Amino acid sequence: MIILGLNYLSHDAAAAIVSNGRVVAACEEERFNRQKHSSSFPLQAIRYCLKSAGVGLDEVDKIALFVNPHLHYKLGFYNLLEGFPKSVLYLPHAAKLLMKRYSMKSRLVECVGKSMEYLVHYVDHHVAHATSAFYPSPFDSAAILTIDGRGEFETLCIYAANGNSIKKLHSIKFPHSVGYLYSMVTRYLGFVPQSDEYKVMGLSSYGTPALCEKFSNLARFDDGGNLKLNLGYFDHHYRYGKSRNAFSDKFVCDFGKPRAIDEPISQRHADIAFALQRLTEEILMSFVRFTKRLTHEDALCIAGGVALNCVANSKIVNSGEFKHIFVQPAANDAGTSVGAALYVYYLLSHNGQRYSFKDVYLGPSFTEQDLARELCNYQGRIITTRVDCPTSTGAQLIHDGYLIGWFQGRMEFGPRALGNRSILAAPTDKSVRDLINKKVKFREEFRPFAPAVLSEYKHEYFECDSKGHLLYPFMLSTVKVRPEAVAKIPAVVHVDGTARIQVVEKVNNPLFWKLIKEYHSLSGIPVVLNTSFNIGGEPIVCSIKDAIDSFLHSGLNCIFIGNFLLEKSDGRTYSG
């Protein structure tokens, strides 16, 4: 049975193919059209997924969509109920959103043909998040917590899962939303909502608790599963489009004027980020405790955009409320393409076999012939050398202080580069962090980098909790760096002494594991700095062309594509 899962007309449009219960391909449309967080119909992602699965569109049994238009009428109702009288102004927008969701089928027909219309199955948005986390997990039964900005009308849901069945137990309705809380402050701090929340998370480590007590006025929550935003600080329940700031005049009155995009970051901004992160963690922990009491499960699965907050995830791990935790690696809306497809598969197959995620290398790969064809477009600009062992050569160059691009195998699904579309460097020189931020990534100087560590050595360098072992391979949780290791790997230690680790297992990515192993032999350090292969404002590279263009327009010293080493013919290390 072949199920095509889709997410579009929302941020992080994506496609996924499930074949007899196994996710065989998944990819975000942004990787093809190069528009970050693209909402476009994922036609190129669909073509890739079908090709990867070796099937034609006419062989697809069902098309699973990530949202249910029939539930969208409740958005205006709950918003009106909670935000009256101002929320009356939101009703036209709610109606417009309803029509937009109902246009999904016509957009599908327009792009892939009318015959596909009869294969469509709508999946409730938070159900798609829930199934994206539970079905790829290794658990037979588990509690599920889904947290985002908003689905059709819900913003947080709790489920109990057993076998192939999932039952909803509790939910929070719009306009009360952890995701909107975080996005509001993201915009206030001069960043882009639904895109730059991770910047705020990184900035929070530079803050102090000075504003935490004042910030607590933004939301009321308790261990009984209740959450109420203080809507006086927000405008998302009555403004929309370009008129919406997300924050209200009251918020500006209490916390000062918002930061302009090009304005330097002050201590006040860092303190606001700190207070937001602290409040978010408190809310999430309240719901984690409530989820435990509702389900009495030992295992917890988490999905939704808020689940990408790896600092909050570490608090959940360290709390000990659950013995085992799994977070969907593509927890944002891209992952709902997988969740919707899996939901429909198990709905139709009932007791079909489940397959847990060991890795998320579900995107495109390329051949030597592809490289040869592409290099014809860069004659005179690139020196290409075939190397017998790219891991040995790469490890030596990293040890020598080079910044290298590492382009190997199938691209990762989700927002983290996990060793196939990565920029790599030695973690031993703290200054390399500033160099990459300034000359390669073209981004804010406070942004941290992740360590990729050999599984065999993770406990020597990091305080890893066994309850988080399913998160660590996917960069989904921060951990404390052991005091004795900080001086050895300063480039990957954040200002608060933590790191968002990637634990690398030989069985899951033997080539990346071997590269780190050979670097370890040279340096005595079983860790490399790993960050996504992209330059500022662009998605992670997908194609060979993407990789070469990023290389030529950044301070990377060289890149590896398969068994080939590519260098700039003029020897430049920075073309900006």
Number of C-alpha atoms within 13 angstroms, CB side, residue 103?
Answer: 11
* 368-568: CATH superfamily: Carbamoyltransferase, C-terminal domain (3.90.870.20)
Q: ∠495-456-392 over CA atoms, to 5°?
A: 90
The pLDDT assigned to 572 comes to 60
Domain boundaries along the sequence of the chain: 2-134+329-349, 178-327, 368-568
The pLDDT assigned to 575 comes to 35
The pLDDT assigned to 574 comes to 38
Q: ∠400-403-405 over CA atoms, to 5°?
A: 125
β-partners of residue 386 are: 564
- Using a pLDDT cut of 70, give the percent of the chain over it: 99
Residue 194 · residue 208 · CB < 8 Å:
no
Domain 178-327: top CATH class:
alpha beta
- Using a pLDDT cut of 90, give the percent of the chain over it: 92
DSSP 541: P
**For the residues of 314-339, what is the DSSP string, one character each?**
HHHHHH-S-SEEEE-TT-STTHHHHH
DSSP 219: E
Q: Is domain 2-134+329-349 annotated with CATH 3.50.50.60?
A: no
For residue 402, give every residue at least 6 positions away whose Cβ sits within 8 Å of its Cβ, in sequence order, or none.
Answer: 425, 557, 558
- Round to whole Å and give the CA distance between 188 and 550: 30
Q: ∠230-231-232 over CA atoms, to 5°?
A: 90
Q: Which helix (H) or strand (E) holds 568?
A: strand 564-568
The pairing of strands 299-303 and 324-327 is parallel
β-partners of residue 426 are: none
- Round to whole Å and give the CA distance between 252 and 249: 5
The pLDDT assigned to 439 comes to 84
**For the residues of 480-539, what is the DSSP string, one character each?**
EEPHHHHTTSGGG--TTSEEE-EEEPTTT-HHHHHHHHHHHHHHS--EEEEEES--TTSP
Residue 425 · residue 404 · CB < 8 Å:
yes
Residue type, 179: G
| Tokens (6 digits) for 570 | 């003029």
pLDDT per position as a tens digit, 171-186 = 999 999 999 999 999 9
Number of C-alpha atoms within 13 angstroms, CB side, residue 228?
Answer: 10
Nearest by Cα to 482 from 464, 500, 470: 464
β-partners of residue 566 are: 384, 559
From the centroid of its chain, how far is CA 137?
A: 17
The pLDDT assigned to 442 comes to 81
Given the structure tokens 């074949």, which residue do they identify? 19
Q: Is the peptide bond before 42 cis (omega within 30 degrees of 0)?
A: no
Task: For the chain, 576 residues long, give each residue's pLDDT as a single digit of tens.
Answer: 999 999 999 999 999 999 999 999 999 999 999 999 999 999 999 999 999 999 999 999 999 999 999 999 999 999 999 999 999 999 999 999 999 999 999 999 999 888 888 899 999 999 999 999 999 999 999 999 999 999 999 999 999 999 999 999 999 999 999 999 999 999 999 999 989 999 999 999 999 999 999 999 999 999 899 999 999 999 999 998 888 989 999 999 999 999 999 899 999 999 999 999 999 999 999 999 999 999 999 999 999 999 999 999 999 999 999 999 999 999 999 999 999 999 999 999 877 889 999 999 999 999 999 999 999 999 999 999 999 999 999 999 999 999 999 999 999 999 999 999 999 999 999 999 889 988 888 888 888 899 999 999 999 999 998 999 999 999 999 999 999 999 999 999 999 999 999 999 999 999 999 999 999 999 999 999 999 999 988 999 999 999 999 999 999 999 999 999 999 998 765 333
pLDDT per position as a tens digit, 360-386 = 999 999 999 999 999 999 999 999 999
The pLDDT assigned to 243 comes to 83
Mean pLDDT, rounded, of the chain: 95
Q: Do domains 2-134+329-349 and 368-568 have the same CATH topology?
A: no
pLDDT per position as a tens digit, 315-330 = 999 999 999 999 999 9
Residue type, 201: M
Residue 44 · residue 14 · CB < 8 Å:
no
Residue 146 · residue 130 · CB < 8 Å:
yes
pLDDT per position as a tens digit, 408-427 = 999 999 999 999 999 999 99
pTM for the model stands at 0.96
- Round to whole Å and give the CA distance between 407 and 542: 9
